[in-house]
């Protein structure tokens, strides 16, 4: 007998906050600011840590298409796995759960909110390891990805899927790409976008994209330049030729509002493209935007058996982080650069048929 059967027998639901999510969306209330305002003040460092935890939680729940105040237990479990996939330490993930769980407890105590003490989605087993299981996604074939990409009806949607899959970009990193940081090697685009490809890291590297550090949402430990293969360049050029030339520095703009793309926009693209068993896998994690990074890492690390430091460079991981074995480990002295990965990447990258 499943958990669903047991819940049904007692007239209970496993996702009791789902019905309240649309109401929170309509209210436009920042529930975390309400929590901080009512339960403060805090020391500056503590306040900053709470806000960082809330920022990560909001970003994840946007990618799930659910208001951050209305999670199910499975949302929290997937959050733990997603943060672990990003290499976040188990102790940091536990702290984040404590912070968001404290806000949930506050909502339970305040009669104005629909939360009740008999349902705590944050009552999950804390992570004991910094890595998530590799089998939490359903099996996704290259044909599945090709079908998903070909099903998209807009050049923006196709560019989003292709670049995340081929470059392993987080949704925030994709949204942050600026015109100067991408060189699609398409002469005609310079007439529309004078700044395109002018950043020093890509100006002399045709068919490349630069991902910096130190920018809000760019979580990687080191900056990197990534190659754009023929499919990625083609998708990018097609989108840029129909993109509104409204003077914004960001490459990707939403279709309706013509504002810089956000996690929520990216999540909609993936939800629309991934259907059937990919959208609702039995007991597995639904295929959403973070899957692009998962697929990218698995392809190069497992299926192509690339040197771990080359994969770490393309992911933006700190040098030596994937083979750490002490402060004097040999891995700390290994370094990779764009020139090390460009040619083999172009030769071996998978094709999506676009």
pLDDT band at 329 (very low <50, low <70, confident <90, very high): very low
Q: Where are the domains of the chain?
A: 3-109, 142-348
Q: What is the mean pLDDT of residues 149-158?
A: 94
Rounded to an integer, what distance in angstroms lies between the CA atom of residue 20 and that of residue 25?
A: 9
pLDDT, the chain, mean? 86
Name the CATH topology of 142-348: hpI Integrase; Chain A (1.10.443)
Burial bucket for residue 29 (CB in 10 Å: 0-12, 13-18, 19+): middle
Lowest mean pLDDT among 81-95, 135-149, 153-167: 81-95
Per-residue pLDDT, 109? 86
User: What local confidence, expressed as pLDDT, does residue 122 receive?
Assistant: 87
Q: What is the DSSP string of 154-188?
A: SHHHHHHHHHHHHH---HHHHHT-BGGGEE---GG
User: What's residue 300's pLDDT?
Assistant: 95
The answer, yes or no, to whether residue 8 has pLDDT greater than 80, is no
Give pLDDT, residue 331. Answer: 45
Write down the pTM of the prediction: 0.66
Q: How many helices (H) does the chain have, and how many strands (E)?
A: 14, 3
Percentage of the chain lying above the pLDDT 90 cut: 53
Q: What is the pLDDT of residue 3?
A: 52
pLDDT(132) > 50: no
Tell me the average pLDDT across 139-150.
95
Residue 347 to residue 289: CA distance in whole angstroms: 25
Please, what's the b/e burial string for 188-224 (b: 16 or more CB within 10 A of its CB; e: otherwise)?
ebeeebeebbebebbeebebbbbbbeeeeebbbebeb
Q: Is 210 helix (H, G, I), strand (E, B) or coil?
A: strand
């Amino acid at each position: 007998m499943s958990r669903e059967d047991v819940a049904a027998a007692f007239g209970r639901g496993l996702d009791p906050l789902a019905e309240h999510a649309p109401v929170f969306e309509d209210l436009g209330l920042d529930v975390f600011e309400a929590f901080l305002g009512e339960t403060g003040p805090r020391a500056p460092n503590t306040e900053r840590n709470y806000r960082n935890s809330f920022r990560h939680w909001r970003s994840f729940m946007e990618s799930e298409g659910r208001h951050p105040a209305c999670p199910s237990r499975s949302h929290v479990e997937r959050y733990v796995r997603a943060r672990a996939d990003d290499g976040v330490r188990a102790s940091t993930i536990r702290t984040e759960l404590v912070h968001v769980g404290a806000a949930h407890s506050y909502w339970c105590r305040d009669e104005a909110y629909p939360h009740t003490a008999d349902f705590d989605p944050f009552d999950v087993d804390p992570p004991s390891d910094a890595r998530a299981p590799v089998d939490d996604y359903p099996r996704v074939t290259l044909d599945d990805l090709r079908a998903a990409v070909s099903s998209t009806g807009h050049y923006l949607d196709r560019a989003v899927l292709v670049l995340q899959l081929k470059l392993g970009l987080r949704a925030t990193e994709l949204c942050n790409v600026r015109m100067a940081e991408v060189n699609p090697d398409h002469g005609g685009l310079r007439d529309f976008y004078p700044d395109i490809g002018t950043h020093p890291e890509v100006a002399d590297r045709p068919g490349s994209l630069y991902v910096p550090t130190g920018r809000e949402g760019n979580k990687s430990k080191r900056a990197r330049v990534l190659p754009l293969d023929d499919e990625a360049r083609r998708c990018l050029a097609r989108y840029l030729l129909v993109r509104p030339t409204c003077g914004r520095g960001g490459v990707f703009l939403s279709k309706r509002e013509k504002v810089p793309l956000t996690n929520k926009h990216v999540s909609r693209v993936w939800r629309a493209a991934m259907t059937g068993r990919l959208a609702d896998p039995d007991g597995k994690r639904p295929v959403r935007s973070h899957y692009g990074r998962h697929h990218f890492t698995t392809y190069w690390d497992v299926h192509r058996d690339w040197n771990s430091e080359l994969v770490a460079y393309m992911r933006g991981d700190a040098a030596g982080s994937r083979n750490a074995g002490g402060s004097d480990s040999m891995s700390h002295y290994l370094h990779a650069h764009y020139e090390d990965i460009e040619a083999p990447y172009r030769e071996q990258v998978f094709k999506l048929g676009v």
